[in-house]
Chains A and B, each alone.
Chain A
Amino acid sequence: MDTAWAHASEIAAAVSDGRTSAASVVDGALTRIAKHDRALNAFTAVTEERALAKAAAIDAERARGRRLGVLAGVPFAVKNLFDITGLPTLAGSKINRDRAPAARDATVIARLEAHGAVLVGALNMGEYAYDFTGENVHDGASRNPHDVSRMTGGSSGGSGGAVAGGLVPIALGSDTNGSIRVPASLCGIFGLLSRAHTFPFVASLDHVGPLARSTRDLALAYDAMQGHDDDDPVCAQRPVEAVAPLLARGSEGLRIAVAGGYFRAGASAQAQTALARVAAALGVTNEIELPEAKRARAAAYIITASEGGALHLDRLRTRGRGFDPAVRDRLIAGAMIPAAHVAKAQKFRRWYREQVLALFAHVDAVLAPATPCTAPAIGQRTFVLDGVELPVRANLGIYTQPISFIGLPVVAVPVPLQPLPIGVQIVAAPWREDVALRIAHALEQAGIVAVTRPSPEAAA
């Protein structure tokens, strides 16, 4: 079995059947990381010892005749803002290297491991998750497996590169304004944004989710992560609703529309082609407008900048030189925003949510571009959207921000354009992850969306 490119579901089935062992799968992942991560720069730590011990424990369980979990032997890695026992939680920063090692694993890591998955390491990310590029001044940029001179997108850049580059089948990322969906789009993989879990960057907006190479893997990881977290006061109080068994229901009968207006402006030819291809495959001709999406994006930007500035204020006072300058200068500006703007943004947010939720009386899902363009070159500072030159770092998320602003679930699906892939967002009503995943799965079955294996030359 080619475990380098196998889906998590295939690996778990093979380990459970005894066609392969968890130890050999994990060993394969560690070997690939050792070989290819020099080019991809996706990992900031490899947890080899614990991974091998966990794999051996899974194989021992099988030998004892125990039934294995749905992710048995599946190697996975996490953005380095998740706590990993024994490691300082970096969140992409240099400053956090002084932190005490985490005393225990983040709840979502423990949950994936409880289903048999095996943590193999921590992944590169934009500093303090305030980033859409995947660049990091301390650890170096995450590199796009389709062309290592290009951005992975961020801030879950290592998560995008590790999955698209075949190092692991599943990675966890986080998404405040687009940090899962942007790298999923630029790296050409699937990503799921759900409100199920949160992390601290912008308490108002943060979400946690998986990136993977198939919709089934996305659903399996999401199902394993679900459930209330007693350690997280803002984690949703929702009963677990498994989505993996619902994938096969397909998109039949679902009412789908394309987002018009704001979501059309600024999109490159590639972004429009990808969206048109997905819409055509689903037979979607209906277009709807998310009212005031441009203002929504602006309000999300202000809340992010302000809460980010407040979170890091003390570090900005005492350790300003320890930050990535590109992040620091945005955070300082964020700390200076007049409070009236932030209060208004939060009021506007409720108004906007009500308007958008009303649309879901008429549609079950909305299609929108994930990023305005395919992966820009690493180091590229600006690009042109709709005739206006804008900073890349702040604007790769123009289409993702108005969606996460009100916590809607989204599956980012990869459209395999040449030479570079690009994503489309499938947006559903609150807590209808199943709807977005069913549509994504139908598109995957039809071959419209797919993860392309990068050519070996791309990593040269």
Chain B
Amino acid sequence: MTKRAKSSKSKTKTPRARAKARARRMLPKRGRKTAGPDALDSFVDAAAHTLDLKIEPAWKGAVKTNLEMTLALAALFADFPLPDDAEPAPVFAA
């Protein structure tokens, strides 16, 4: 599917369908540039550095695979349309 086809299609869709299509596009797939293997490798390295986590070389593949799966799941709801003032489930009570 080309970029053009995607954008022209999304114009005719409802907000929810549009979000769904966007979520689908965010799913990491083989050959997709936005979340390709190299970008995620760099992300894992940077996140490990930021979190002060030492990831041994033998673990890295599995960490990346898990993160890839986790981000794919996040993409399922990331663009689900909710208003800015939607409250989160946990609410602090003073």
Contact = CB atoms under 8 A, between A and B. Distances in A.
B85 to A, nearest CB: 10
29 contacts: A298-B73, A298-B74, A302-B74, A313-B51, A313-B53, A317-B51, A317-B52, A320-B53, A320-B55, A328-B59, A329-B63, A333-B67, A335-B51, A337-B67, A337-B71, A340-B78, A341-B74, A344-B80, A344-B82, A345-B74, A346-B89, A346-B90, A347-B87, A348-B77, A348-B80, A349-B89, A350-B89, A351-B86, A353-B89
Given A298-B74, A329-B66, A340-B78, 15 more contacts: A301-B70, A302-B77, A317-B51, A320-B56, A329-B59, A335-B53, A336-B48, A341-B71, A341-B74, A343-B88, A344-B77, A346-B89, A348-B80, A351-B86, A406-B89
Given A313-B51, A346-B90, A353-B89, A333 B77 contact: no
Contacts of A326: 62
Going nearest first, the 9 A-B pairs with the smallest beta carbon separation are A333-B66, A346-B88, A329-B62, A349-B89, A298-B73, A333-B67, A336-B47, A298-B76, A341-B74
Contacts of A298: 73-74, 76-77
Contacts of B77: 292, 295, 298-299, 302, 344-345, 348
A404 to B, nearest CB: 13
Contacts of A305: 70
B33 to A, nearest CB: 19
A343 B82 CA distance: 12
A336 B71 CA distance: 10
B79 to A, nearest CB: 9
A317 B52 CA distance: 7
A45 B63 CA distance: 32
Interface in A317-332: 317, 320-321, 325-326, 328-330, 332
A204 interface: yes
Interface of A: 204, 292, 294-295, 297-299, 301-302, 305, 313, 316-317, 320-321, 325-326, 328-330, 332-337, 340-341, 343-351, 353, 391, 394, 406
Contact of A302 (B63, B73, B82): B73
Interface of B is mostly: helix
Contacts of B64: 333
A344 B78 contact: yes
B21 interface: no
Contacts, number: 106
Q: Which of A292, A320, A333, A341 has the most CB of B within 10 A?
A: A333
B17 interface: no
A328 B62 CA distance: 10
B54 interface: yes
A344 B81 CA distance: 10
A350 B85 CA distance: 12
Given A320-B59, A330-B66, A337-B74, A350 B53 contact: no
A250 to B, nearest CB: 34
Nearest to A297: B73
Contacts of B52: 317
Contacts of A406: 89
A341 B78 contact: yes
Contact of A336 (B43, B76, B86, B88): B43
Q: Which of A347, A349, A391 has the most CB of B within 10 A?
A: A347
B88 A347 contact: yes
B66 A292 contact: no
